[in-house]
Amino acid sequence: MRELFRLKIASKRQVTIPQRLMNVLNLAEGDEIRVTVEKGAIVSWQAFKMVPASLFTPEVLNQLSQREAEMETSTRPPVDPATLIQEAEAKAKAKEPVAQCLTAS
């Protein structure tokens, strides 16, 4: 269902996001919104949840660090972290399940 929201810009360029929009986007204080502008118009925007680094596997954190370094040196175009997560999840699903063995100590 399509909904319309109006955001008012207050002093100091602050914007109040209506509670309904916060609920729809599942946003909380500290989360971010990325806005893409082209020719003076907003062409897209996306809500980002802040996720603790402890929830990422070391492999994903390593990939993020490598890509961040590459972006700083402009050797690769920017990559959306969500894409990295999807790639890592796909790789994890492609691997065969590992049998867990319990041993008494």
Res 18: pLDDT: 92
Verdict on whether the full-model pTM lies above 0.85: no
Where do the structural domains in the chain lie, given as residue ranges?
Answer: 11-48, 53-86
| Residue with the two structure tokens 């492609």 | 94
Residue among 29, 25, 30, 18 nearest 45 (CA): 25
The CB-based long-range contact list for 27-30 (8 Å cut-off, 24+ gap) reads none
pLDDT at 6 over 60: yes
| Residues 56-91: tens digit of each pLDDT | 889 888 988 888 787 777 656 666 777 777 888 888
